[in-house]
């Protein structure tokens, strides 16, 4: 079958690879109908996260179940499903508590948490391919209505819609909250959409790319252009001097200023300034425990200095980390079905799987309008 294969920095190709098969009685094989390129795919793409050449990329997957192992008892062949990016055993302590993002058993390295097609997340090939093997299928798969309605909305259920929503959960967004989101990339936009769904009174989105700020407006948020104004000042102005109740980090360790200079603590510093005393921060932009390509010695070791003393003085709550997709995807699916959520507003391109290499290049350069790319295998 065809799959997107990592060959080295800035080099991916669609190659013929071996088709997956049932390896374990709880596996299912999914024929992929839609698989997305994620911002975090760019970490290995840019050589910033170490990936073995020959690996298959892709952790945002959905499709149709074509085969199930003999012990699968809930999911059936023919089911249309969303595949959460986390692979979780469903029976360890962390899975029991809803932390599928920290499954203690799925990753043979012993590191909590596993996923498809990503460095350090275990030996699971990615799903930018015609077929994907899904372990512990009964636990991991979310069933979708049959047919092809809402395909591009449902495609966002495997990662970024729940991840953005997770940011709002970690940031304690409630009805009436004033929320600031840093980053209008796909995750930041999904956080803005989620904040509105949760009843936020105000959502402010900070970025410096005009096309992405326009999308923020479509979700009902107020855009703040960081290339034009000082974000903390703009947030204080917009909130009558109080500051936001909730702050969401959707940028990560590669934060850079409008001039392109990397400042790994820039967004954290700004968030502490923007959020009022007693507020909360949700950090879903990725910070790495080690980052050999970082600019500073500290950042190489995953040490980030920020205005922690000010955060203490404000009494902030901070939540962070990868999203346990299963905790949210059912409810978000239902919001899509009932017409209340339309995450696909951010989808800019839908192309055949074969065009993955060009799509990676455009998306990596943040070419104007390349917000989110969906790939469709031909099968």
Q: Which of residues 29-68 bind a second copy (CB under 8 A)?
A: none
In angstroms, what is the minimal distance from the CB of 341 to a second copy? 9
Q: Give the contacts of 275 (CB within 8 A, at least 6 positions apart).
A: 180, 243, 244, 245, 246, 247, 281, 314, 316
Among 139, 182, 219, 360, binds a second copy (CB under 8 A): 139
Q: How many residues bind a second copy (CB under 8 A)?
A: 81
Q: Which of 123, 260, 309, 365 binds a second copy (CB under 8 A)?
A: 309
Burial of 228 (0-12, 13-18, 19+ CB in 10 A): exposed
Distances (CA, A) of 130 to 17, 61, 68, 228, 342: 10, 10, 16, 44, 26
Which residue, 148 or 290, has its beta carbon nearer to a second copy?
290
Choice from 28, 283, 356, 374 touching a second copy (CB under 8 A): 283
For a second copy, the closer CB: 321 or 357: 321
For a second copy, the closer CB: 290 or 368:
290
Q: Does the footprint of a second copy cover residue 214 (CB under 8 A)?
A: no
Closest CB 231 distance from a second copy, rounded Å: 19
In terms of CB distance, is 27 or 207 closer to a second copy? 27
Which one among 21, 76, 77, 93 touches a second copy, defined by CB under 8 A? Answer: 93
Q: For CA atoms 269, 273, 278, 280, give the dihedral sign.
A: negative
Binders of a second copy in range 243-262 (CB under 8 A): 253
Interacting residue with a second copy among 78, 147, 260, 289 (CB under 8 A): 289
For the packed helices 329-337 and 160-170, what is the interaxial angle rounded to 10 degrees? 110
Contacts (Cβ under 8 Å, ≥6 apart) of 322: 86, 101, 102, 113, 163
Decide: residue 130, CB within 10 A, 0-12 exposed, 13-18 middle, 19+ buried.
Answer: buried
Residue from 1, 64, 318, 345 in contact with a second copy (CB under 8 A): 318
Q: Which helix (H) or strand (E) holds 144?
A: strand 142-144
Residue choice 217, 313, 358, 368 for contact with a second copy (CB under 8 A): 313
Q: Which of 146, 148, 217, 305 binds a second copy (CB under 8 A)?
A: 305
Closer to a second copy by Cβ: residue 242 or 370: 242
Work out how close the CB of 227 gets to a second copy at its nearest, in angstroms, rounded to a whole number.
Answer: 25
Among the listed ranges 29-37, 52-60, 83-91, 126-134, the one in contact with a second copy (CB under 8 A) is 83-91
Report DSSP state, residue 158: G
Task: Report 354-373 residues binding a second copy (CB under 8 A).
Answer: none
Task: Find the DSSP H helices in 22-171.
Answer: 42-45, 93-96, 137-140, 151-154, 160-170
Give yes or no for residue 263 binding a second copy (CB under 8 A): no
Among 210, 258, 315, 352, interactor with a second copy by CB under 8 A: 315
Is 267 a binding residue for a second copy by CB under 8 A? The answer is no
Name every residue whose Cβ is closer than 8 Å to that of residue 167 and which is 6 or more positions away in sequence.
181, 187, 191, 194, 248, 249, 250, 282, 283, 284
CB of 217 to a second copy, least distance (A): 14
**In 23-174, where does DSSP find H-type helix?**
42-45, 93-96, 137-140, 151-154, 160-170
- Minimum CB separation of residue 21 from a second copy in Å reads 16
User: 231-238 vs 266-274: helix axis angle to the nearest 10?
Assistant: 20
């Amino acid at each position: 079958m065809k799959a997107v294969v990592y060959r080295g920095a800035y080099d991916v190709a669609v190659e013929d690879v071996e088709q997956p098969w049932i390896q374990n009685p709880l596996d299912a094989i999914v024929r992929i109908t839609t698989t997305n390129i994620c911002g975090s795919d760019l970490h290995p793409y840019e050589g910033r996260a170490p990936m073995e050449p020959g690996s298959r990329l892709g952790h945002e997957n959905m499709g149709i179940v074509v085969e199930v192992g003999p012990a699968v008892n809930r999911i059936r062949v023919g089911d249309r499903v969303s595949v959460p990016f986390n692979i979780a055993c469903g029976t360890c302590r962390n899975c029991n508590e809803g932390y599928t993002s920290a499954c203690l058993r799925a990753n043979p390295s012993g590191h909590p948490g596993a996923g498809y097609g990503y460095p350090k997340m275990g030996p699971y090939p990615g799903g930018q391919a015609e077929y994907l093997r899904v372990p512990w299928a009964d636990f991991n798969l979310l069933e979708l209505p049959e047919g092809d309605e809402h395909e591009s909305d449902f495609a966002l259920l495997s990662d970024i819609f729940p991840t953005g929503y997770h940011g709002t959960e970690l940031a304690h967004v409630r009805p009436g909250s004033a929320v600031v989101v840093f980053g209008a990339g796909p995750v930041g936009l999904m956080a803005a959409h989620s904040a509105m769904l949760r009843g936020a009174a105000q959502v402010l989105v900070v970025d410096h790319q005009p096309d992405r700020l326009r999308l923020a407006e479509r979700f009902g948020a107020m855009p703040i252009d960081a290339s034009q104004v000082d974000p903390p000042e703009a947030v204080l102005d917009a909130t009558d001097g109080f500051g936001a109740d909730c702050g969401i980090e959707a940028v990560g360790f590669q934060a850079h200023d409008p001039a392109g200079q990397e400042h790994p603590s820039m967004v954290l510093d700004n968030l502490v300034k923007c959020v009022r005393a007693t507020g909360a921060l949700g950090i879903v932009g990725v910070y790495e425990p080690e980052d050999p390509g970082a600019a500073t010695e500290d950042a190489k070791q995953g040490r980030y200095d920020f205005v922690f003393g000010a955060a203490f003085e404000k009494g902030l709550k901070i939540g962070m980390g990868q999203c346990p997709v299963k905790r949210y995807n059912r409810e978000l699916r239902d919001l899509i079905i009932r017409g209340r959520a339309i995450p696909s507003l951010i989808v800019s391109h839908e192309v055949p799987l074969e065009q993955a290499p060009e799509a990676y290049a455009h998306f990596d350069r943040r070419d104007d309008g390349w917000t989110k790319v969906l790939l469709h295998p031909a099968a």
